[in-house]
Amino acid sequence: MRELKGSFTVEASVLVPILLAITVVFVYLGIYAYDKTLMIQDVNAVAAMIRDENMVGKDSVVSVCEDAFAEIKKEHPYLAMTDLRLVVTVKGNNVHLRLTGNWNMPLYKGYSRKLTKERDVKRINPVNKMYLTEIIKKAIQGEKDDDSDGLRD
Protein backbone atom coordinates (compact mmCIF):
# COMPACT_ATOMS: atom_id res chain seq x y z
CA MET A 1 0.00 0.00 0.00
CA ARG A 2 2.87 2.39 0.54
CA GLU A 3 3.61 2.36 -3.19
CA LEU A 4 0.15 3.78 -4.13
CA LYS A 5 0.12 6.83 -1.84
CA GLY A 6 2.14 9.07 -4.17
CA SER A 7 0.32 8.09 -7.38
CA PHE A 8 -2.47 10.65 -6.87
CA THR A 9 0.05 13.50 -6.64
CA VAL A 10 1.81 12.41 -9.81
CA GLU A 11 -1.45 12.07 -11.75
CA ALA A 12 -2.67 15.46 -10.50
CA SER A 13 0.59 17.15 -11.49
CA VAL A 14 0.02 15.95 -15.06
CA LEU A 15 -3.73 16.47 -15.24
CA VAL A 16 -4.11 19.93 -13.62
CA PRO A 17 -1.96 21.86 -16.17
CA ILE A 18 -3.83 20.21 -19.03
CA LEU A 19 -7.21 21.14 -17.55
CA LEU A 20 -6.00 24.67 -16.83
CA ALA A 21 -4.79 25.10 -20.43
CA ILE A 22 -8.13 23.86 -21.79
CA THR A 23 -10.00 26.28 -19.50
CA VAL A 24 -7.86 29.23 -20.66
CA VAL A 25 -8.45 28.31 -24.32
CA PHE A 26 -12.22 28.22 -23.76
CA VAL A 27 -12.14 31.59 -21.98
CA TYR A 28 -10.23 33.16 -24.91
CA LEU A 29 -12.66 31.61 -27.40
CA GLY A 30 -15.53 33.05 -25.39
CA ILE A 31 -13.99 36.54 -25.42
CA TYR A 32 -13.40 36.28 -29.19
CA ALA A 33 -16.96 35.08 -29.85
CA TYR A 34 -18.37 37.84 -27.62
CA ASP A 35 -16.47 40.60 -29.43
CA LYS A 36 -17.29 39.24 -32.88
CA THR A 37 -20.99 38.90 -32.02
CA LEU A 38 -21.02 42.40 -30.55
CA MET A 39 -19.46 43.72 -33.74
CA ILE A 40 -22.17 42.10 -35.88
CA GLN A 41 -24.88 43.37 -33.53
CA ASP A 42 -23.55 46.93 -33.65
CA VAL A 43 -23.38 47.08 -37.44
CA ASN A 44 -26.89 45.67 -37.68
CA ALA A 45 -28.18 48.20 -35.12
CA VAL A 46 -26.70 51.13 -37.05
CA ALA A 47 -28.07 49.69 -40.30
CA ALA A 48 -31.57 49.33 -38.86
CA MET A 49 -31.45 52.85 -37.45
CA ILE A 50 -30.36 54.47 -40.72
CA ARG A 51 -32.75 52.38 -42.84
CA ASP A 52 -35.77 53.46 -40.81
CA GLU A 53 -34.71 57.09 -40.36
CA ASN A 54 -36.16 58.80 -43.40
CA MET A 55 -35.73 62.34 -42.09
CA VAL A 56 -31.92 62.11 -42.32
CA GLY A 57 -30.59 63.71 -45.48
CA LYS A 58 -27.97 62.05 -47.66
CA ASP A 59 -25.32 64.54 -46.55
CA SER A 60 -25.73 63.86 -42.84
CA VAL A 61 -25.96 60.03 -43.02
CA VAL A 62 -22.26 59.60 -42.22
CA SER A 63 -22.35 61.78 -39.10
CA VAL A 64 -25.60 60.18 -37.91
CA CYS A 65 -24.11 56.68 -38.29
CA GLU A 66 -20.89 57.61 -36.48
CA ASP A 67 -22.81 59.26 -33.63
CA ALA A 68 -25.09 56.23 -33.31
CA PHE A 69 -22.10 53.87 -33.23
CA ALA A 70 -20.39 55.98 -30.56
CA GLU A 71 -23.52 55.78 -28.38
CA ILE A 72 -23.84 52.03 -28.95
CA LYS A 73 -20.18 51.50 -28.02
CA LYS A 74 -20.71 53.29 -24.70
CA GLU A 75 -23.58 50.96 -23.76
CA HIS A 76 -21.60 47.76 -24.12
CA PRO A 77 -17.81 47.99 -24.40
CA TYR A 78 -15.71 45.48 -26.28
CA LEU A 79 -13.45 43.20 -24.24
CA ALA A 80 -10.41 42.83 -26.50
CA MET A 81 -11.11 44.96 -29.60
CA THR A 82 -9.05 48.05 -30.36
CA ASP A 83 -8.95 50.58 -33.20
CA LEU A 84 -12.64 50.24 -34.06
CA ARG A 85 -13.52 52.25 -37.16
CA LEU A 86 -16.88 52.66 -38.84
CA VAL A 87 -16.63 53.70 -42.50
CA VAL A 88 -19.87 54.84 -44.11
CA THR A 89 -20.25 55.19 -47.88
CA VAL A 90 -23.41 56.65 -49.40
CA LYS A 91 -24.38 56.13 -53.05
CA GLY A 92 -27.90 57.25 -53.83
CA ASN A 93 -30.30 55.34 -51.56
CA ASN A 94 -27.68 52.70 -50.73
CA VAL A 95 -25.55 53.01 -47.60
CA HIS A 96 -22.53 50.75 -47.13
CA LEU A 97 -21.32 50.24 -43.55
CA ARG A 98 -17.90 48.73 -42.81
CA LEU A 99 -16.77 48.17 -39.23
CA THR A 100 -13.16 47.09 -38.72
CA GLY A 101 -11.09 46.53 -35.63
CA ASN A 102 -8.13 44.62 -34.24
CA TRP A 103 -8.80 41.79 -31.83
CA ASN A 104 -5.85 41.46 -29.44
CA MET A 105 -5.53 38.31 -27.39
CA PRO A 106 -5.83 39.28 -23.71
CA LEU A 107 -2.64 38.87 -21.63
CA TYR A 108 -0.64 38.18 -24.81
CA LYS A 109 0.35 41.18 -26.87
CA GLY A 110 1.90 39.22 -29.73
CA TYR A 111 -1.36 38.07 -31.33
CA SER A 112 -3.66 40.42 -33.19
CA ARG A 113 -6.36 39.59 -35.71
CA LYS A 114 -8.23 42.04 -37.91
CA LEU A 115 -12.00 41.58 -37.92
CA THR A 116 -14.35 43.19 -40.45
CA LYS A 117 -18.12 43.27 -40.69
CA GLU A 118 -19.83 44.86 -43.67
CA ARG A 119 -23.47 45.64 -44.29
CA ASP A 120 -25.35 47.24 -47.17
CA VAL A 121 -28.52 49.16 -46.39
CA LYS A 122 -31.06 50.30 -48.93
CA ARG A 123 -32.97 53.29 -47.65
CA ILE A 124 -36.63 53.20 -48.61
CA ASN A 125 -38.81 56.27 -48.74
CA PRO A 126 -41.96 56.14 -46.58
CA VAL A 127 -44.43 55.63 -49.47
CA ASN A 128 -42.58 52.59 -50.83
CA LYS A 129 -42.28 51.24 -47.29
CA MET A 130 -46.06 51.45 -46.84
CA TYR A 131 -46.62 49.64 -50.14
CA LEU A 132 -44.17 46.90 -49.17
CA THR A 133 -45.91 46.51 -45.82
CA GLU A 134 -49.30 46.18 -47.52
CA ILE A 135 -47.93 43.61 -49.99
CA ILE A 136 -46.56 41.54 -47.12
CA LYS A 137 -49.86 41.74 -45.22
CA LYS A 138 -51.80 40.62 -48.29
CA ALA A 139 -49.35 37.79 -48.95
CA ILE A 140 -49.76 36.55 -45.38
CA GLN A 141 -53.55 36.72 -45.64
CA GLY A 142 -53.47 34.96 -49.02
CA GLU A 143 -54.94 37.84 -51.02
CA LYS A 144 -53.77 38.68 -54.51
CA ASP A 145 -51.84 41.94 -54.95
CA ASP A 146 -53.92 44.43 -56.91
CA ASP A 147 -52.20 47.51 -58.30
CA SER A 148 -55.29 49.03 -59.86
CA ASP A 149 -54.46 52.56 -58.72
CA GLY A 150 -51.08 52.50 -60.49
CA LEU A 151 -49.37 54.57 -57.82
CA ARG A 152 -46.28 52.37 -57.56
CA ASP A 153 -44.98 53.25 -61.01
Per residue in 25-77, pLDDT (tens digit) is 999 899 999 999 999 998 888 888 777 666 666 667 888 888 888 888 888 88
The pLDDT of 86-91, averaged and rounded, is 86
Contact assessment for residue 96 and residue 88, using Cβ atoms and an 8 Å cutoff: yes
pLDDT of residue 104: 85
Per residue in 102-137, pLDDT (tens digit) is 888 877 777 888 888 998 888 766 666 677 777 888
Question: In 10 A of CB 94, how many CB atoms?
Answer: 11
Determine the Cα–Cα distance for residues 49 and 129; give it in Å rounded to an integer.
15
Longest CA–CA separation in the chain, Å: 97
Contact assessment for residue 24 and residue 108, using Cβ atoms and an 8 Å cutoff: no
pTM: 0.67
pLDDT of residue 20: 94
Per residue in 2-24, pLDDT (tens digit) is 555 667 777 888 899 999 999 99
pLDDT of residue 14: 87
